[in-house]
Amino acid sequence: MAQTGDDKDIQGGIDPGKQTEVNTELTTEQKKLELDKTAKRALAMVKSTDFNDIENISNYVNDNLSNEHATAKISKWWEDKLESLWTDLGKRENDMKVMQHMINLSQINGHFKVVNGQWVREDAKDLQLVFNDNNGKECVLKLVLSGKQTNMYVPFLDDEEWERNDDGQFEEVKKETKFNIPEHATLTLTQGRNTLMTCELNTKVSTNGTLDVAKDNIEANCKLTINNYVVEVKRALFEAAKGAKAEATVTIGNQKLFNMVISANGKSTNERIQGVGEVSMALDILGDVQFKSKIDDGSTFNKWYTKLEERGLHKNNSIVYYTENEYKGFVQQANNHLNAGLFLKGSEKRSATIELGAFAENDTTTTKRNLLRYGPTRLC
């Protein structure tokens, strides 16, 4: 069983409790009013103008420094660098050539500066992009890696593709993916003397070089700061034989906008996920509204939910939509594994139960016939 996340930031804890325990102290209209008040508070905290500087810089780079002319002097370096990250392992498996792709940020380095409207590169150990924005202010995007770097091959990302070889013939190629994971990474964006954005990543990886889901542990913590907005993912963790979990918060100034905790357990091999067991998620908005859910069997829930998304069976290059009774039956099967509720101000009793539902929609075919079908799903 995977440990659930820390519930101290979720008012009333993370357990949705029993579906029969409903808060009757407030009327339906009063509950709607509380939701509306919280939504308005949250929206009032987020001002679109707070992101104007970053948006303007992004638009300027996209419009002026991303075209073929601007990148002409660094395009060959970039192409050569991408090619260098691929290695022919010099072996064959099941008559396939084996290639390995190393995703390694430490290899993407150099100081890139804009001179007369074109990017030029100078050798350096870190990565910097330096340019003037549309107001003439110097902007610097900088990536710094530090600490231990861990190489890890991830077998379940293996892919197979047909490619043309040097003789002009097509051959099947197995493509492996290997990561170089830095212990610390910091990305910053400055405009003049002002720091507009900082993103910090810290990792802890326990592996022998190949991801082994039965033995290895991976933990990541990430903090993104833009002005007075802070998005933090704490303890995003995969634990061998236990499962995965993550906690996240969004803070504006000294006020927490929301907190989220999610966890899941399951069975997997290095090649694929074999099954998902219990899945829990809790979300707290301003301490006033909480959404809590638990799925008792993730694999079974997903089986029925997939049917709802498919909406029918594919036969003879066409789709035969499920009947109303069939679709509603699948909805009920999925809901049998879902326990979700909406809570107010940390109450242990839910104000509303949230479940999947079916609704009808019209689909006009090329023959202008109106067909009644059911899906996709929605929360009701």
Domain ranges of the chain: 28-294, 298-336+350-380
- Count of beta carbons in the 10 Å neighbourhood of residue 367: 5
pLDDT at 373: 41
pLDDT surpassing 50 at residue 379:
no
- Distances from the Cα of 8 to the Cαs of 5, 21, 81, 184, 259, in angstroms? 9, 22, 46, 27, 10
**Which tens digits make up the pLDDT trace of 213-260?**
778 889 999 999 999 999 999 878 887 767 889 999 999 999 999 999
pLDDT at 148: 95
The confidence score (pLDDT) of residue 270 equals 60
Identify the band that residue 13 occupies on the pLDDT scale cut at 50, 70 and 90: confident
Q: If you count them, how many residues does the chain have? A: 380
pLDDT of residue 100: 94
**Tokens matching residue 47:** 């001002």
Q: Which two three-digit tokens encode residue 178?
A: 């290997």
User: Is residue 195 within 8 Å of residue 202, measured between CB atoms?
Assistant: no
Check pLDDT > 50 for residue 2: no
pLDDT of residue 12: 83
Provide the 10 A C-beta neighbour count for residue 232: 16
Residue 374 is predicted with a pLDDT of: 44
Residue type (1 letter), 23: N
pTM of the model: 0.82
Q: How far apart are CA 9 and CA 286, in angstroms?
A: 10
What is the arithmetic mean of pLDDT over 128-139? 96
Least trusted range by pLDDT, from 33-42, 58-67, 92-101: 92-101
113 neighbors 119 (Cβ within 8 angstroms):
yes
pLDDT at 274: 67
